[in-house]
Structure 1
Amino acid sequence: MACGPSGIRKMDAKCKVVNKFLQTEKQVNRGPEQSWTQGFACDLYLKECEQKKHRALEKYRREQKNNAAKRQEIVQLKKKIQKLKFRQEELQKKIGKYKRFEEFLQKIFDALPSTEYGYLAYGEDSLIKTLIKRHRTLVTEKERLLRKLSVQQYSLQETLHEFRVLQEEYNTAQYMVMAKVSELQSKYNELQTKNTDLMQFINTKEDLLTKRCQELSRMLLAVSGLAEQCYMRHYGALQEMTLWSKLSMIQEFILEKMQIKEETMSLIKAGKSSITLLKEQLPKQKYSGRVLLHADRSPEEEMV
């Protein structure tokens, strides 16, 4: 029985034909019992057809899965065959490469004696003796080189161990140096800040000193000007006088002027009091004329 899509289509066509035939037969035969029997038989046939169809579909699906698995297996086998071909080619190349060594060894084997001690019959200059000596020399050299290699390996391990120790020490020292550099950098920044503050303070002080120097210069000029105005001969030449002498001279001059002013004021007060007494003694008629006369005069003139 066909289990593919064509078989399923054929079964569907048969079912359709049977259904059509049963419908035609129902129309021809109108008997109730016969119609029920034919309908029951038709239902059984249809159920059987559905079951066959279901089984065919299941079988078709299983075959599809098996075919897909086989195709994957075929692809994998082809890949393995391709790899084996590449491997075969490589081995053939190696066989061709070592073919000459095989021929050389075969020639040596043919030249060797058939017995174990047969080579003793050959002389010292024979090829066999030369090969044996060369072999022994090479074996000895190989052992020496192996011993040297083991010593070198041990030395290399010790060197690597020392290198690791030095690497760790270097990393530790580098870390410490970086920490020290960071600390010094922070200190440098602090000192830089302090230096900036000190420079600002010094500049401020220099400005104040400059202002004070200017004020002192102005004061010295003022003292020199006052000394010229208050010059007194008994102090000597003005150019040769010191600052203290100039100040003393100015002080003396001011005190003298104040004393003169006080004496003058006392004389003025005494003159005013005498004038007042004189006014009281003179008659009123004469006093009015004299008062007008003396009103235009200053107190100093009156004192004179």
Structure 2
Amino acid sequence: MDMPLPLNMDDPRLQLKVENRLKNIFVTQLEDVSLLHKKEHDENVRHIPVITESSSRVLDTGVNTLQRTLVLKKQVHLDEVNRQLMQKEQEFKGHMQALEQKWSQLQHKQQETKDKAAKFEKFVEENEVKRCRALKKYQVQRKQNQLMEKDISDLSAQLEQLQIRHQRLKARVDKHKIYEDYLMKILDLLPEKYLECGAESLVMPIIRRHETLSITQQDLLQRLASVTKELDEGQHKLDSLKQEHNTSKLAEETGSLVIAVKHLGQQCYLQHYGPLEDMDMLVMMDMIKEFIVEKVDMERRALRLTASGSEMMKGSANRRREGSEVARNASSKVHLKSTSKASGKSDSLSSSKTMQ
């Protein structure tokens, strides 16, 4: 453990020195000098006089100085007010000039706005006129386009019809091409001056034969058309007769079915459905259905009862059969015992006989 160092009490730095210090007092009022000296001897105080003049002179000097000071202050305040007033006037003039300038600018802008508004109104009117003109032109062009589209559709339909007709005529040309080839071959076989022969030419019989055949073909076509028409009429009559027959047959079947339902309803009548004469067919069929369901349910119950009775009878028969079997077994056992006893007696007799 470290030991503390010893203190040297003779060190002057460790000694406390106390001195009587003087107090400085500034005197602003006149006092008696003897009192001051007495106080100096009594106390450690140093008095420093500030005012060396008399009190009356100091008072006069202070009043004059105060009035002059007030006047100077008022003059300074007045100068400051005048300066501020001049500054405000300058600022007011500047504001007025700025307002006049802004007013002139505003009037100029208003005039420009009026000019622009007039130009814009004129522009709007011109645009409205252009719009009306363009709208009329659009309507006219739209009507023209509609007419052109209609014409295009009509022309397309006509073109399709013409194409169909062209195909039909082409097919007919292809069909009659054999006749052309035949006539060309005949023409090659005819003599060179066959036209000069007149009525005695070899072509006239062929032409007449062709006319006869064409007339015959027309007659046959007419007869075929009439026969086809008669066949269609006959088929129509046959269809109507079949329909009438089916209708009458259906009516007969419906009547017989209604009679059968009524007869069955009389047999299956249930009282909670009301009188049978006022009953509807659907209600009657519901009644028949309910009656049949009840009958089926009763039959099922009867079958269950008969099945249970037959099972009971089978049980009693089985019990009887078991009793008879038990009795038979007992009798067989008694018989066996008797036979065993008889055999024992016979054995004993035979043994006794042998011993004798």
Q: Which has the larger radius of gyration?
A: 2
Query: Where is the helix percentage greater, Structure 1 or Structure 2?
Result: 1
Question: Does the TM-score normalized on the shorter chain lie above 0.5?
Answer: no
- Name the TM-score class by shorter chain: 0.3 to 0.5
Q: Provide TM-score, normalisation by structure 2.
A: 0.32
Q: Provide TM-score, normalisation by structure 1.
A: 0.36
